[in-house]
């Protein structure tokens, strides 16, 4: 068995720690506690959002792999990604409805609207092409976090090329697929936030 090089190990590690459900989960923790009036409220918002948007599609994927409907949990095949993405989209819509009724701050609602739009775009593109969700997720988080924090978290932008490199190096995506994930969804975040006056 051929041993992995240091570069292989680093690229694999980057891909693993920036799995979209993990990145989105951590961002929701940041987002909820950033805007929540107290710890208990922030915690309840986190539980709702992470359960519906992160855990639901993850649990579905695990069962689908076990039943043989999906090849693996990393969703390496384009055709395996539609169902988990659809569940994540529905979860985001349900989360938005719950949060709207709970009178959650407008900034959180705008982010959820943006996330729903991005998930719909990815769902449509995925029917024909395997756009990079890793690149999408890290870009969305970097742009949104910086808009919320007045660009004090600028260093998050440095993660984008690192994550994109790891996906291309591991041959999970082409350069075009990571560039599309970065530019398209970064633009969607920026435009949506500006339309709703969050900038």
pLDDT at 38 over 80: yes
Q: What is the predicted pLDDT for the residue at 119?
A: 95
Write out the residue range of the structural domain in which residue 13 sits: 6-195
User: Any idea what DSSP says for residue 44?
Assistant: H
Domains in the chain, number: 1
Predicted local distance difference test score (pLDDT) of residue 2: 60
Asked whether residue 108 is assigned to any structural domain, the reply reads yes
pLDDT, tens digit (0-9, with 9 covering 90-100), for 98-128: 999 999 999 999 999 999 999 999 999 999 9
Q: Give a three-class secondary structure readout of 84-126.
A: HHHHHHHHHHHHHHHHHHCCCCHHHHHHHHHHHHHHHHHHHHH
Find the mean pLDDT for residues 184-192.
94
| Strand boundaries in the chain, DSSP class E | none
Give domain status of residue 145, yes or no.
yes
Residue 34 lies in a domain: yes
- On whether residue 188 sits in a domain, the answer given is yes
What's residue 132's pLDDT? 94
User: Contact at 8 Å (CB) between 126 and 82?
Assistant: yes
Q: Is 1 domain-assigned?
A: no
Residue at 114 is within a domain? yes
Q: What is the pLDDT of residues 2-26, one digit of tens each?
A: 667 999 999 999 999 999 888 988 9
In this predicted structure, the answer to whether residue 42 has a pLDDT above a threshold of 70 is yes
Residues 6+ apart with CB under 8 A from 51: none
**Is position 68 within any domain?**
yes
């Amino acid at each position: 068995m051929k041993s992995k090089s240091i570069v292989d190990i680093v690229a694999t590690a980057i891909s693993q720690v920036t799995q979209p459900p993990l990145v989105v989960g951590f961002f929701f923790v940041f987002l909820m506690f950033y805007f929540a009036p107290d710890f208990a409220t922030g915690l309840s918002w986190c539980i709702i959002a992470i359960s519906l948007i992160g855990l639901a599609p993850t649990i579905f994927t695990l069962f689908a792999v076990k039943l043989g409907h999906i090849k693996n949990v990393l969703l390496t095949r384009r055709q395996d990604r539609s169902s988990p993405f659809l569940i994540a989209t529905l979860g985001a819509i349900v989360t938005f409805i719950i949060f709207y009724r709970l009178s959650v701050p407008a900034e959180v609602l705008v982010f959820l609207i943006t996330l729903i739009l991005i998930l719909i775009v990815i769902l449509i593109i995925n029917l024909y092409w395997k756009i990079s969700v890793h690149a999408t997720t890290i870009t969305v988080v970097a742009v949104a976090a910086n808009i919320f924090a007045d660009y004090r978290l600028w260093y998050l932008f440095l993660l984008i090329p690192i994550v994109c490199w790891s996906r291309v190096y591991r041959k999970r995506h082409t350069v075009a697929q990571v560039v599309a994930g970065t530019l398209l969804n970064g633009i969607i975040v920026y435009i949506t936030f500006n339309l709703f006056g969050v900038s």
